[in-house]
Structure 1
């Protein structure tokens, strides 16, 4: 008997079909990543379509599969993994932090994000009828600009025309690198409101979840990123680490920094991004480029898995959960809240109008929102009805953002950022 038809594989066996399907999907991803910068689509759009097609097959054939509300752990872990790699890679892209960029990002994080949480919460409470805690949680879930899906729109990789980059892409990368972690305190505020006991919860939230959580994450990320860069460079110079394994440094560094921050009770996402920035501060040459490229490859694979899994879990009954008012939040957030908040907050900033329009439009929602959806489902702090509404409203916004921002990315990037 031929080896291919032996005990490991049988003709049309499940493992064989899975291997065939996975290989085909990887080739689809290669094509999508190759052409996304010159076509009116993004790789995430292709993954979404493939995943939705799979969801249709699963529904028609009544195949056993993950349920978003009952089995959120897999999606949460995939999203977490994707974010860790994406944030570290994004940090490695930050070459120069000018006063204009710093001030712009501070406004995006301090003013725009807070305003977005408040506006979404107000809409969710007044129009959708959610409780205050659920409304704030939904605002926190949908506020962050996603570093995974915004990766192709942001700062260029190391050594690629760094001095010629416009401010807007770098600011977008810096914003998306930090705001995923900053979203956590807003979500925890909603959790506290759902289960507030006594009068000390507000001070606990400010001291522990805001000041300590963010501050310690920055410290761990800075020390970890700079220290790992210094140590690995020292080892390479002495031949104690093979240069061919530079890419492995990205995987190890991202996990070590993220894990250390999480173990300290702070925000691993902030630490991962700051770690990438600090790594870049020590080593600015080809070593950093190879480390970045490895992190980017890991991010691409993880993004593929996350979007496919997310889309395959979508079903018609779930999409009906937000109702008309929940679906109305999609255009309100993407077309009104984010653009208006950015344009108002950046009034007076020394940034060209085109750059401000770029930042206003590309408040992409994606993997970070999916991660926090998983967190809220696992925590079980909302009623089943509100959990379903929050979850599927976030799903609707993420799916719409992938399509809308993916379809306009290539054209608007060229239109707004290419010199006249």
Structure 2
């Protein structure tokens, strides 16, 4: 017998690997719940190990696969945005969402400006520096699961978790105008055509406004079809949480067809669908399916990211770039966060937690890929290296600290996360509107 004939086919190896991946996706979050380690760290380590094997010849650096990078990260982000919106129990109200508005209106613009100035200081051309700031300012909705609110109706929604969840849901859409600003400036540098009016009227006013309205309309329609029509026909009777995935794709697809911000629309759709019947058990079904799809897609993406790291993604880094990365994580976001939270009724530890956990991740990869696919930017390899390093450091820094910090925060709020009687009982959160807004 020729033993070479017994070697498994690539299909069988891939099928086995997919099974192991799905098993890890289901098991690791529970296994890592009480230790200072996160699922993304494990995924990156596995990816680095797999792509270091000589037999694995694929080198998944994003600069070689710009279209695939853009589309895959786009898919992961929209699924995460739907999941984030379905989690939020708090009824939408401008006053009850005050923390969110501060993080969006103050912290994010300050972060964009500060990161862009760091890029200029580090020698990046100004259009590349603006793109760097726009890409790295948003808090990522994909990798921030450990600091987000709990599933629907669990009440796990203190002010810190709510602030980080709602910020991650909305700022991905609101960062897009600044990505388009970088693209407009890069194109104008080549053509000399005016850009300001078109950017303000189209990329800012039209794409944000219609994105919000489009997301609300899709959410209203799905809310009616799911919960309000004749009981024999409503979608909730199917018990199939894939309805949330359908709403995600339709919301994103329709708004992108009219050239509006699909990320923003998906999150608005999720909030509107959540509001259609806040107490219905089907909300949990939709969230659970969305979370499973998101976790699996995220794990595949991070495996590839680990492969890109060992494949040379960071090879163009300089010590200046390392300094920029450290400053973004340890100075820019925390300082901008604390400035944005001035006047908020919160304890010092709560403000520090909100300011510290500005996790950078998949959204940043998407924005860089999108911009580089739509305009020519100088030093693209260096841009990828800086963004890749910041994402890696963010995953390590925040992944290793999230468990002890959030557990300590729960204790300071009067909840012992280790007490058996408190298993599943949410932390009380701030003396603020969270409890009032949890029900209509």
1:159, CA displacement in angstroms? 1.1
1:376, CA displacement in angstroms? 2.7
1:399 to 383, 387, 392: 392
Look up the match of 2:124: 130
| Aligned: 1:415 with 2:400 | no
2:251–2:269 Cα contact (<8 Å) kept: yes
User: Matches of 1:192 and 1:325 in 2, distance apart?
Assistant: 27
1:311, CA displacement in angstroms? 1.8
2:360 to 357, 361, 365: 365
Look up the match of 1:4: none
- Of 355-364 and 100-109, deviating more is 100-109
1:235, CA displacement in angstroms? 5.2
1:75, CA displacement in angstroms? 2.5
Could you list the per-position Cα deviations for residues 242-286 of structure 1 after superposition, in whole angstroms to 9, with x for gaps in the alignment?
734431211110100111111111110000001000001111121
Matched positions, count: 406
- The equivalences for 1:19-418 within 5 A come to 19-57=15-53, 60-61=54-55, 63-96=57-90, 97=92, 101-126=96-121, 128-161=122-155, 165-196=157-188, 197=191, 200-234=194-228, 237-239=231-233, 241=235, 243-284=237-278, 285-315=280-310, 317-383=312-378, 386-418=379-411
1:74, CA displacement in angstroms? 2.1
User: Matches of 2:135 and 2:171 in 1, distance apart?
Assistant: 11
- Give SS of 2:63's match: coil
User: Matches of 2:257 and 2:221 in 1, distance apart?
Assistant: 18
1:62, CA displacement in angstroms? 6.8
User: Matches of 2:207 and 2:94 in 1, distance apart?
Assistant: 25
- Of 40-49 and 97-106, deviating more is 97-106
2:112–2:137 Cα contact (<8 Å) kept: yes
1:218, CA displacement in angstroms? 0.6
The structure where helix makes up a greater share of residues is 1
Could you list the per-position Cα deviations for residues 92-111 of structure 1 after superposition, in whole angstroms to 9, with x for gaps in the alignment?
12222455542221111111
Change (3 A) 1:245 1:287: closer
Could you list the per-position Cα deviations for residues 329-367 of structure 1 after superposition, in whole angstroms to 9, with x for gaps in the alignment?
221011110001111121111222222111111000011
Unaligned runs of 5+ in 2: 415-440
1:200, CA displacement in angstroms? 3.5
Unaligned runs of 5+ in 1: 1-8
User: Matches of 1:51 and 1:250 in 2, distance apart?
Assistant: 29
Change (3 A) 1:166 1:67: closer
Normalised to the residue count of structure 2, the TM-score between the two structures is 0.87
Look up the match of 1:6: none
User: Matches of 1:53 and 1:236 in 2, distance apart?
Assistant: 53
User: Matches of 1:18 and 1:28 in 2, distance apart?
Assistant: 15
User: Matches of 1:49 and 1:236 in 2, distance apart?
Assistant: 50
Change (3 A) 1:298 1:317: closer
1:415, CA displacement in angstroms? 1.2
Normalised to the residue count of structure 1, the TM-score between the two structures is 0.91
2:51–2:59 Cα contact (<8 Å) kept: no
Could you list the per-position Cα deviations for residues 157-212 of structure 1 after superposition, in whole angstroms to 9, with x for gaps in the alignment?
111025xx321111111100011111211111111222225574111111111111
1:116–1:338 Cα contact (<8 Å) kept: yes
User: Matches of 1:281 and 1:322 in 2, distance apart?
Assistant: 46
User: Matches of 1:264 and 1:293 in 2, distance apart?
Assistant: 30
Look up the match of 2:430: none
